[in-house]
Structure 1
């Protein structure tokens, strides 16, 4: 009987996700769901897969799946992983230490930290639930129609010779608003009540 090792996976190798077929390809068997001890942080690598790193402070318990992997399959599994992911030791919330998929520091530089979701599944569920909030409406705004409707709503008489200038200004405002709406900010950024450079 071949020796097996426990492997904690925290991203696309989990059941039902994109690279789970790699687990079955090497003969791995799902054992259980678990959590790491609260000593890890998590990053989204281009929203394609996560990278988990152990930290000395500010860590959380990350949701993982424990798989039993034939020892001979560990190397093959690692070769199928995206660059920058490695196999290392991971401590679980119950104190057990197993092998696990970890991200190298360089991989996380400049990427979105997603630690607050405490797991890849929770983060991708957040993305799915908030798709409509990520960009402004796909339907382009007709500035002339908007000006006409808003003038009627607020009871503002708009002289015909003033309308082209107002429409031009509203068109500029819409373009600037679109730029702001499409600018990606880290999730931990919060609106400040007072601007302080």
Structure 2
């Protein structure tokens, strides 16, 4: 029976179609199976599409490009070493990013507040067509965020700048959504007086 016949009215066994997401999942699982067998090239193909995003998040967290690159490399090596702990029935990206974020938070706690590069503005924030006041606000925002503890800084950047939901952040950092909300509340309470000059509205909150 052809696929067309199988999908015809009255057919007992319809053939499901495979969309791009289905094909990507199948490809990822095939690569994961090869990694389990020791295929490092397969691991490079598996982790490769996620490295740019990982570097952005690492840069947000550590505030230094060289440290961020080192963190991404460390996370990739850790993921390869611990691949037997990865649930291959699930997507690789959240597991890898969670591992990177936890490593980054541990590293940030160790290095403390040593000298670092100023955070570059987010692509949308650095738009040259923005009004000067807007650019000034984002610069002040980053300077203020830089004063937060590492976990609060990571959470508020992920939520307010990168657009992650509270549930997604909880999954990335392996904490509860309630914990995410608490960190956001405390971080915003710290940021509000530092940024109020840029937003005189008394109801403003970052």
TM-score (norm 1): 0.19
More strand, by proportion? 1
More helix, by proportion? 2
TM-score (norm 2): 0.18
